[in-house]
């Protein structure tokens, strides 16, 4: 099971040693947004590429 703690540990291992707290906060924000999007797609389903292109072209 991949817990939030494991995700943070993985992220910290990937970031450079000289990263700032702001860098860490930003990356945690992005990881959280992606995870929420994946969870939503799992719950509600996702959109075929054609539908996305139609919606964005309007």
Total domains, the chain: 1
Whether pTM exceeds 0.85? no
Residue ranges of the chain with pLDDT lower than 70? 1
Query: What confidence tens digit (pLDDT) does each residue in 27-37 have?
Result: 999 999 999 99
DSSP codes of every residue in 1-58: ---HHHHHHHHHHHS-TT--HHHHHHHHHHHHHHHHHHHHHHHH----HHHHHHHHH-
Q: What is the span of the domain harbouring residue 22?
A: 4-57
Q: What is the pLDDT of residue 45?
A: 87
φ, ψ dihedrals at 33, nearest 5°: -65, -45
Q: What is the pLDDT of residue 1?
A: 55
């Amino acid at each position: 099971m991949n817990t939030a703690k494991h995700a943070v540990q993985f992220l910290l291992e990937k970031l450079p040693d000289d990263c700032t707290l702001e860098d860490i906060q930003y990356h945690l924000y992005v990881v959280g947004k992606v995870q929420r999007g994946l969870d939503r797609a799992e719950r509600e389903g996702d959109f075929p590429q054609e539908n996305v292109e139609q919606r964005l072209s309007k």
